[in-house]
Structure 1
C-alpha cells in the first residue's frame, strides 16, 4: 500500500516545471434564452438575465474540475417569433430556474492565474447537472427537477494577479419538455406543443474569478 502511495506521488511530481494547483471562485453574469415550443427559434438570443457562482479546481494547466450554480428567468413569446403559426397561436410563458452542475473544463493552451506565461486560452467544457423550475397546474403545479447536460466554450485571460475574466457560451439540453409550462392537447389547435421536442436553454455571459490556494507538486509536461 505504501509503495502505491509513493508511486502516485511520484507520478504527479515528474519533471516538467511546477504548476500551481490553485482554486478559483467567482461570479457569472449575463443573459439567457430558451429554445423550445414557444417564442423565437434563435439558438443564441439572450432576452433574460442570468447570474450565479462558479468554482474551479485547477488540476493541470490544460484542465480543471468545475462546479456552477446559475439562476435565471426563461421566457418565450410567440408574438416575437418569425414563425407565422407561432405568431397566430400567440402563446407566452415565463419560468424561473435554478441550475447546479459539475463537470470538466479543457484549456487549449496552458493556463494558470499564478504561473507566468500561462495567461489566456480558449476552452471547452462538459457538465452534468440538475435544474429546478416551476410547472403549470395542468402539469401538476409546484416545482420540479430535471436533469440537464451543459456544454459549451469560452475564452479567459488574466485581468490582474490571481484575478481572471472570461467570456462563456453554454448550451443546456434537458430531458423533458415542460419548462414552457404548457401541456400537449391534440384537440386544441391553439395549444399545439410538440411533446417529442425536449427543451433547451442557453447562458451567455462573463465570468470573474479570484484564485487562491497553495502550490502543488503536479508537473505534467503536456
Structure 2
C-alpha cells in the first residue's frame, strides 16, 4: 500500500515541478498574439470606363482617352497579420464619346464614329472587400510592416444614372439645346414598349478586384495606392446595349437622343464639333471605294447596324471601369494589453 502512496507522491511532485517550469517560461516569453486594429482612409484618383463607347478590345486606348475622377472614404479592420476587411464608399465619374474615341481612325471604326453617342455617369459605389497582405504586420498597429503590397476583392452595390447633352440649337428644337439630361427615363432603346426589354435598373452589383501598396508613414498614418477593376452586372452604364428602336415607339426628347447618326455636331463639347461633314466628304471623295461608300450609307441610315457594339474582348462582357486611388490612412489608436508582471 505504501508503494502506491510513494508513487502518487512522486507523480504530484513531478506535476508541480513541470507547472512551475511552465510558469517561469511563460513569464520570460513575450505575448505574441496579434492585436486587431482599425483605420479610416480617404482617397482621390482617376476613373476609366470600358464599354460600348470605349471597347475592351482597345483596352489601352480606352484607359487613357477620357479619364475622369473619383473620391473614396473607407473603414478597414485588420483581423490578422495577413487578412483585413474593408467597407468603402466611392463617388466616381466616368464618360465616353464616339467622336473623341474614333476621330483619328474613322474608316476602321466607322460604325462607332457614325453612331455619334456620348455620355457621362456619376457612380455611387458601396463596396465590402477582403484584403490579403503579402507582408505580415507585427503584433499590433505600432509595429506595422513598413511596405505592404496586397490584393483585394469583394462585392459592391452600385447606383448610377447616365446622362448626355441634347443636340445643338438647330437640331434640338423644340427642346433646350446642349443641356445635360438623364437618359434612362427616355427609354432610348424602346424599353418598356411591347416587344422591347423592360427599362434597365439604376442600381446594380459590381465585383471589385485589384492590387494595392501601403507605406507606413509613422505610428498614426499610412500612405497607399490602389488600382482596381470593377466588373458590373449591367451593360447600361453608358445607356447603350441593344439595337436601335423603331422611331415610332420613341416619345418626346427620346426622338432626339436615341439615334444621333445624322446630327451634324458632337454636342458634348461646349463648342460643338462638326463631325457629319467628315463622313459626307469621305463618301464624295473620288478615291473612296464603292464598298466603303456602302458601309458609310449603311452606318448612317439602316437599323441593321447595331446601336450597341460587340466591342468587348469575348463579345459578352458588360460595362466596367477601373479606379486608381492615392490614399491616406489614419490608424485608430487601440489599447495594447501588456503581459502581466509577476
What is the TM-score when the length of structure 2 is the normalising length? Answer: 0.54
Structure 1 residues 216 and 59: CA distance shift in structure 2, 3 A: farther
Quick one: distance in 2 between partners of 1:36 and 1:117?
Answer: 40
Give 1:176 deviation, angstroms: 1.2
Quick one: distance in 2 between partners of 1:216 and 1:57?
Answer: 16
- 2:215 aligned with 1:157, yes or no? yes
- 2:211 aligned with 1:95, yes or no? no
Quick one: distance in 2 between partners of 1:111 and 1:29?
Answer: 25
Higher relative contact order (CA 8 A, sep 6+): 1
- 2:92 aligned with 1:72, yes or no? yes
- 2:192 aligned with 1:192, yes or no? no
User: Structure 1: any 5+ residue segments left out of the alignment?
Assistant: 1-14, 218-222
Give 1:182 deviation, angstroms: 2.4
- 2:195 aligned with 1:169, yes or no? no
* C-alpha contact (below 8 Å) 2:53/2:98 kept by paired residues: yes
Deviations 1:26-64 (A, max 9, x none): 212101011111036435437111001011000011111
* C-alpha contact (below 8 Å) 2:130/2:152 kept by paired residues: yes
Give 1:116 deviation, angstroms: 2.7
Aligned to 1:110: 136
Quick one: distance in 1 between partners of 2:231 and 2:49?
Answer: 11
Answer with 1 or 2: which has the greater Rg. Answer: 2
- 2:49 aligned with 1:34, yes or no? yes
- 2:68 aligned with 1:48, yes or no? yes
- With 146-155 and 90-99 compared, the bigger mean Cα shift is at 90-99
Is the helix fraction higher in 1 or 2?
Answer: 2
* Corresponding residue SS for 2:79: strand
Structure 1 residues 144 and 22: CA distance shift in structure 2, 3 A: same
Is the strand fraction higher in 1 or 2?
Answer: 1
Give 1:216 deviation, angstroms: 6.5
User: Structure 2: any 5+ residue segments left out of the alignment?
Assistant: 1-29, 103-107, 163-183, 193-198, 245-302, 338-342
Quick one: distance in 2 between partners of 1:69 and 1:146?
Answer: 15
* Corresponding residue SS for 2:32: coil
Quick one: distance in 2 between partners of 1:117 and 1:144?
Answer: 41
- With 132-141 and 142-151 compared, the bigger mean Cα shift is at 132-141
Written as runs of structure 1 = structure 2, the 5 A alignment for 1:119-134 is 119-134=146-161
Give 1:202 deviation, angstroms: 0.7
Quick one: distance in 2 between partners of 1:111 and 1:54?
Answer: 20
* C-alpha contact (below 8 Å) 1:21/1:58 kept by paired residues: yes
* Corresponding residue SS for 1:81: helix
* C-alpha contact (below 8 Å) 2:147/2:214 kept by paired residues: yes
Size of the aligned set, in residue pairs, is 203
CA RMSD of aligned residues (A): 2.6
* Corresponding residue SS for 1:160: coil
* C-alpha contact (below 8 Å) 2:206/2:230 kept by paired residues: yes
